[in-house]
């Protein structure tokens, strides 16, 4: 299923494409350890303290909560009231808006979370935009068996994984108050309308 990463043009040149057998859900599960290792490779453009690296050109507003391991890249903006936790990596020019929570997530260059978003256990490609209130959920608490099952391009994909949000391809647009249900793959350029629902889990 490594074809899933075709939705993100810069994936194979990134530090996260370490094993060709890794799937998106394997990557996010291993993300805290991967971010810890990347902390040791950063140059002096970063200030590093307590497992948290923030590039000196990034802006972190007062009232933001940062929990390591975490890397915030050049020219990012992390707004007041946001929470980053569980092992996150932000490429250059990313925005995490007010009241937004990001957990165990990779954000590639120029991706933006407007405000009051939740993004959990996910991989966002370049130039992804979530409008206000849009959610990428990471766990199916309504099911007796919440393990990963999804249909992508007509193929059923299953994995013994409890928490996975989405792989969101380059240039996707997710409208205000939309929900991406756990275990989704969005092709590059996908547009999710405001109040929309993306749920790729087949009926049981």
Residues forming the active site? 115
Given CA atoms 131, 101, 111, 170 in this order, what sign does their dihedral have? negative
Cis amide leading into 106 (omega within 30): no
Q: How many C-beta neighbours within 10 Å does residue 195 have?
A: 12
Residue-by-residue DSSP string for 109-130: TT-EE-SS-EEES-EE-TT-EE
Residue reference for tokens 């043009």: 9
Q: How far is CA 179 from CA 8, 40, 93, 100, in A?
A: 21, 36, 24, 14
């Amino acid at each position: 299923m490594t074809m899933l990463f075709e939705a993100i043009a810069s994936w194979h040149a990134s530090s996260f494409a370490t094993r060709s057998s890794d799937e998106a859900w394997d990557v996010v599960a291993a993300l805290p350890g991967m971010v810890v290792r990347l902390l040791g490779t950063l140059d002096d453009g970063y200030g590093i303290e307590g497992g948290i690296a923030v590039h000196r050109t990034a802006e972190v507003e007062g009232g933001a909560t940062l929990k390591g391991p975490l890397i915030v890249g050049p020219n990012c903006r992390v707004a007041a009231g946001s929470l980053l936790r569980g092992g996150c990596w932000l490429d250059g020019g990313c925005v995490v808006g007010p009241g937004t929570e990001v957990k165990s997530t990779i954000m590639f260059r120029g991706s933006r979370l407007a405000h009051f978003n939740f993004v959990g256990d996910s991989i966002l490609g370049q130039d992804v935009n979530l409008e206000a209130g849009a959610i990428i959920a990471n766990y199916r608490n309504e099911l007796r068996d919440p393990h990963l099952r999804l249909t992508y391009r007509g193929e059923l994909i299953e994995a013994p994984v409890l928490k996975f949000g989405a792989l969101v391809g380059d240039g996707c647009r997710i409208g205000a108050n939309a929900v991406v249900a756990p275990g989704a793959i969005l092709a590059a350029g996908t547009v999710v309308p405001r109040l929309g629902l993306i749920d790729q889990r087949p009926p049981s």
